[in-house]
Amino acid sequence: MKQNPTDPTNFPAGDRRPALVTLATPRPTTLAGTFRAAARVLAANGLYQGDYVPDARDKEMCIPHFLRPMSIVAALKTAVTGDPHGTSRLADEAISTLALRLDGGPRWGDIFSLEAHVDDWGDGEGRTTESAVAVLYAAADASEQVAA
C-alpha cells in the first residue's frame, strides 16, 4: 500500500509521527464581514489611540502586532490581511466606506486622507473600544442593507 506523499504525518525518513498542521484563519470576503471581523479584533485587543499599534518598531514590546491594541484602521487591515500594516482592496474599501459615514467624511478622497479621517475619529477624546465596536457593527448592518 503506497502512502500519500502529501499526508502531514509522512516524513522523508519514512517514519510516521504526529505533526503540527496549522490551518489558515478564514478571512472575510464581504464588506459586512470585514466590519464584523474588525469589531471582533477590537473587542479582543482593545482600541489604541495613536498610530496603528503601540510600539510599532518593537523597541519595548515582543508581542506580535496582531495581538496588540490597535486603531480602527489597523483592525480593518488585520481582519482582511492578518497584519495591521498590510493592504488589500477589501480593507481599503472598508476604510473608505467607514470614513464617509463618520462626521461627514474627509476633505480629500485619497486612501491616506480616508485612513487619517478614521484614525482622527478613533482618537477622539473619550472614545472607547465599545463605541468603536458599535460603529463597526452599525457599518456592517448598513452595508448589508445596501447590498440587499
pLDDT higher than threshold 80 for residue 28: yes
Q: Where are the alpha helices (DSSP H) in the chain?
A: 31-45, 72-81, 89-101, 111-122, 129-147
Global pTM reads 0.77
What's the pLDDT at 103? 85
**pLDDT above 70 covers what percent of the chain?**
82
What gap in Å lies between CA 73 and CA 101, rounded to an integer? 14
Q: Hunting for cell 464588506 — which residue is that?
A: 31
pLDDT in tens, 36-79: 999 999 999 999 888 877 777 778 888 787 778 899 999 999 99
Average pLDDT score over the chain = 84
What's the pLDDT at 2? 54
pLDDT in tens, 69-104: 899 999 999 999 988 888 999 999 999 999 999 988
What gap in Å lies between CA 69 and CA 50, rounded to an integer? 10
Look at 56 and 33; give whichever has higher pLDDT: 33
DSSP line for 51-72: SSSTTTT-SS--S-GGGS-B-H
What's the pLDDT at 89? 96
Q: What is the distance between the terminal CA atoms of the chain, rounded to a whole angstrom?
A: 53
Question: Of 74, 59, 78, 55, nearest to 122 (Cα)?
Answer: 74
